[in-house]
Copies of this chain bind each other. A is one copy, B any other.
């Protein structure tokens, strides 16, 4: 009935130079490391990466920066990966820093058919540069815009064969939001289970949002 399991080779074929990719995770917790392996192996270049942070130079999506496959990151934090800062100062990597709450809400917006939202975060700081400011009842807000990607690579602790996803503990972070905001969504299943094994209340990403399932243990 559902036929979403995909191989390493099929994923590799989906990857192109110049792509915009969202990658789930928070400082490499809840990050699809085995999917990142495939991006590394394929060696695609000039990527734009949307993520919470750039993790470490040898862990998480930081590995893509170390190998210079990325030309632009849109993130809230780069402090854990000195390589990001180095490439930025050398002029090789464009870094857009976005407040974390604004970044995740922009992703939600991009996946929810909303045209933007008003947030008080960033008012009176350099974050407001180039943005429309709207005052309501005397309070200033920035109009922040939705963001989407061609591809989202996410992590799932438990995934059923229909594509329903459960994220354990703090692996949830950006993953369920990104699953709504990309044209193609691939989940790396830490554990793949049969349909019916997940309590329906526990599902955090409904199956129709998942395009493909990658189950490294089954390879």
Contacts and interface: CB of A to CB of B under 8 A. Distances in A.
Interface centre among A109, A115, A145, A169 (most CB of B within 10 A): A115
Given A169-B201, A202-B201, A202-B202, A136 B117 contact: no
Contacts of A115: 117-120, 134, 136, 139, 141
Contact of A201 (B105, B109, B119, B167): B167
Contact of A118 (B105, B116, B201, B202): B116
A199 B168 CA distance: 10
Nearest to A204: B201
Given A118-B114, A119-B115, A200 B136 contact: no
A117 B116 contact: yes
Nearest to A141: B115
Interface centre among A118, A169, A172 (most CB of B within 10 A): A118
Interface in A6-30: none
A113 interface: yes
Contacts of A105: 114
A174 to B, nearest CB: 16
Contacts of A168: 201
The quantity of this chain's copies bound in the complex is: 2
A116 B120 CA distance: 10
Task: Sort A-B residue pairs by CB-CB distance and give the 8 closest, nearest first.
Answer: A115-B118, A115-B141, A117-B117, A116-B118, A115-B136, A114-B117, A202-B202, A114-B119
Contacts of A109: 117
Contact of A120 (B113, B201, B204): B113
A180 interface: no
A200 B170 CA distance: 11
A116 B145 contact: no
Contacts of A120: 113, 115
Interface in A29-80: none
A114 to B, nearest CB: 5
A166 interface: yes
A204 to B, nearest CB: 8
